[in-house]
Amino acid sequence: MDKPQAAEIQRLLLAVSDAVHEARAAIFELALEDRAMFARPLGEFASCLHFEMLAAIYARYPELRPPEEPPTIISDLRWEDVTLPASVSEADLDAVIFSMLTPRFQKTAMVIAKAMERCDECTLPVNGEILGARIQALAESDRLKSVGDLRQWRHSEVRLQD
């Protein structure tokens, strides 16, 4: 694959990524039992798209990687301002979040994305902002380790406590 071919494939894959994002939003509007049939396969597809296909293009042609976006606050939601749906407990969210953490630091955005996929699989009707607020609360209570401003998901990291 030469660079023009790689650039065309990248363009098409990014268009697919946009469509997956729209599909995820539409799926989130479905009833819980219907959401479950789409969550896992769509999550696996999105993961393959970004972490295998696009990553392969960027490994060969790093200059095609989109420029880093400046640090941006994704959400200012605080845990004390969250009202959970009746079907979701704090313990449910904690279990999902801790199942995504490792002893090594990971981008907060990645942990939230993986946790959203797991929540979809388990039909827990929560969004990324709620997960982000919970992660921030867990960090503030020293239940997990963090670096950076956790409101900036792509520019902060989290891991399990020592």
Q: Tell me what the mean pLDDT of segment 8-33 comes to.
A: 88
Paired residues of 147 in beta bridges: 157
In angstroms, the CA 114 to CA 9 distance is: 25
pTM of the model: 0.64
DSSP characters for 4-68?
HHHHHHHHHHHHHHHHHHHHHHHHHTS-HHHHHHHHHHHHHHHHHIIIIIIHHHHHH-GGGSPPP
Domain range annotation of the chain: 1-66, 73-162
Q: Name the pLDDT band for 89 (thresholds 50, 70, 90).
A: very high
Mean pLDDT of the residues in the chain: 92
**Lowest-confidence pick of 13-17, 27-31, 52-56, 146-150:** 27-31
In angstroms, the CA 36 to CA 38 distance is: 5
Q: Tell me what the mean pLDDT of segment 107-128 comes to.
A: 91
CATH architecture of 73-162: Orthogonal Bundle (1.10)
Q: What is the predicted pLDDT for the residue at 79?
A: 97
> Using an 8 Å Cβ cutoff, are 28 and 35 in contact?
yes
In angstroms, the CA 101 to CA 159 distance is: 5
Q: What is the predicted pLDDT for the residue at 34?
A: 82
Neighbours of 75 (CB within 10 A): 18
Q: Is 34 or 5 the better-scoring residue by pLDDT?
A: 5
In angstroms, the CA 52 to CA 115 distance is: 19
